[in-house]
Structure 1
Amino acid sequence: MIEVKSQEFKSLSERYKILNIPILRGAITLFEVMIIGIKTLQWSADKAMEDEEEKEIAEGKKEKKSDKKAGMSTLSAILTITIALAIGIGAFMGLPLLLATYVFDIETQALAFNFVAGIIRILLFLAYVWGISFMKDVHRLFQYHGAEHKTVFAFEDKVLLSPANVQKFTTFHPRCGTSFLVIVLLISIFFFSFVDAIVLMWLGKINLLIRLATHLPLVPFVAGLSYEALKASAKKVDNAIVQALIYPGLALQRITTQQPDDEQLEVAIVALQAALGEDLKDELAAPPEVKSEILPVTA
């Protein structure tokens, strides 16, 4: 049985027009998606633990407990994201700047410095993604990621959504969070080169502390800029420049998406049905048994 938790969501950028401007809306959307993602993963993990506990109780290995854990709150999700961002920024922003500063003698060369720091950042990111892909739970997560892409492709191709039909499609999709991250890494090289050039013109010098003070506050801006680039690329997928921009992201999806089984495809199909609601009802093949939980609109 597939258990579905549905909750209507409206982005801040949709609720307040002043926030719906290019770049700003991208930064806001990114943070909102991270909150939703963390809370959803926690809910899924809790359900998996409940299933395992019920199995152990049925086998007589464990006694049933009356208390039940509450789901993750938005505040807890924000705290988790804040800690994760601090670690991520330290590893993928601070460390490359540190290495580029003390290993290479190019501190005052804006483009060369950020190119080297960018390459270090990309290598660290690739090593991280490749490393975690060997973890059993992460590999399964990447299978669900592949199932999501196959299902979206099938829906866009107006094919009846059944595991057999969806399985025929590829797991590589151009509008993906993986492609977004790669675009962030590439844009950051040129954007921060421009920032460093301005700092050098104004101050006549630049060092690690100045770079940290100017680069870190601008990370949301780079994320928003990358969001707009990815959004624009979706409208011109046949353009040679756009294809070159999204190719690295598609290549990285060889790691971040894996071939799913039919049960995982069923989950992806039902998830798409829940996300799009009645608009998808007539397009779906008969779904498996589903238990739904509908929550109030988010604040």
Structure 2
Amino acid sequence: MEKERVYIGGQAVIEGVMMRGPEKIATAVRTPDGKITIQCDSVHSLTQRFPILQKRFLRGSIALGEAVVYGMKSLSFAARVVGEEEEEEESSLGMIGVIGCSIIAAIVFFLLIPTYVAHLLLGSGTSPVALNIVEGFLRLVVFLIYIRGISYTAGMQRVFEYHGAEHKTIWTYEAGEALTVENVQKHSRLHPRCGTSFLLIVMIISIFVFAFLGWPNLVIRVLSRILLMPLVAGISYEIIRYAIDTSQGWVKILTKPGLWLQHETTREPHPDQIEVAIAALQAVRPSE
């Protein structure tokens, strides 16, 4: 009987890497004195408590929501370890503030600005379908500009190096090789299951889903897009899973744009960064 494939996911954080397995999630961070500290917790997924959420087109939105929650917790832990946050209570309040500001910024930059510019460019007499398509492409452009912009910031360079270490380590695990620095170094820093790829597919799929929603007033437009994001996330998730699992070469083309974008969001890691990624994955890998 063929063994069920186990997926390991991850995320780069400040001076570290978070890895998530089927049962545990671990964040490994390099401390200022050069040691590696690890925070490990059990995974409590909604899909385990409510099996219906494991159904196709439902599991994608759950995966996205949980990735955001676990990701913010890991970022907060990493910030405390490297000394950017002092107290856990203050960290929790800060995390709430960051989430709130992120939601507001996302609505402004990915919803309000594209819809305003699309209307400005095409005018009120244009077909709603055309307006929605242009709005979608503008949203994609804003996303790509954002990714390009942060890639130039000094603070993100090391995060992108840890991002590369995360991908290389996962590739090594999936190849069945021993998790050593030497083995990890020879693998690609690009991975088709990366969150960057997922977000890019979300942007593309949203163009088609939102195209036929008409062009109601601004409030309805914004609310309709927010309410339909779980559907968009679900479709995007299934496309990526299918493209990865299938052996048909033409289907794998679907992963190419995301891999291209990862040239912006990953960098070749240093050996000490790979050690951190290995420590995180070792903490969550399933028992043989």
TM bracket (short chain): 0.7 to 0.9
Gaps of 5+ in 1: 54-67, 197-204, 280-299
- Residue 30 of structure 1 aligns with which residue? 64
* 1:13-162 correspondence runs (5 A): 13-49=47-83, 69-70=87-88, 77=95, 80-105=98-123, 108-162=126-180
Asked if the contact 2:240/2:254 (under 8 Å) is kept, the reply is no
Asked if the contact 1:35/1:81 (under 8 Å) is kept, the reply is no
Please state whether the residue corresponding to 1:158 is helix, strand or coil: coil
Which of 263, 266, 282 is residue 272 of structure 2 equivalent to?
263
Q: Does 1:235 align with 2:226?
A: no
Please state whether the residue corresponding to 1:120 is helix, strand or coil: helix
Identity %: 40
- Residue 12 of structure 1 aligns with which residue? 46
> RMSD between aligned alpha carbons?
2.4
**Greater helix share, structure number:** 1
1:78 deviates by: 5.3
Which of 225, 234, 244 is residue 224 of structure 1 equivalent to?
234
In 2, Cα distance between equivalents of 1:71 and 1:270: 27
1:182 deviates by: 0.7
Deviations 1:176-216, CA, capped at 9 Å, x for gaps: 101101100110010011333xxxxxxxx745444224223
TM-score, normalisation: structure 1? 0.77
- Residue 65 of structure 1 aligns with which residue? none
1:79 deviates by: 5.3
**Greater strand share, structure number:** 2
1:234 deviates by: 1.9
Asked if the contact 2:76/2:91 (under 8 Å) is kept, the reply is no
Asked if the contact 1:39/1:72 (under 8 Å) is kept, the reply is no
1:77 deviates by: 4.2
Higher relative contact order (CA 8 A, sep 6+): 1
Gaps of 5+ in 2: 1-34
| 1:237–1:270 Cα change, 3 Å | farther
In 2, Cα distance between equivalents of 1:35 and 1:76: 14
TM-score, normalisation: structure 2? 0.80
Please state whether the residue corresponding to 1:10 is helix, strand or coil: coil
1:133 deviates by: 1.3
1:47 deviates by: 0.7
**Aligned residue pair count:** 254
1:22 deviates by: 2.7
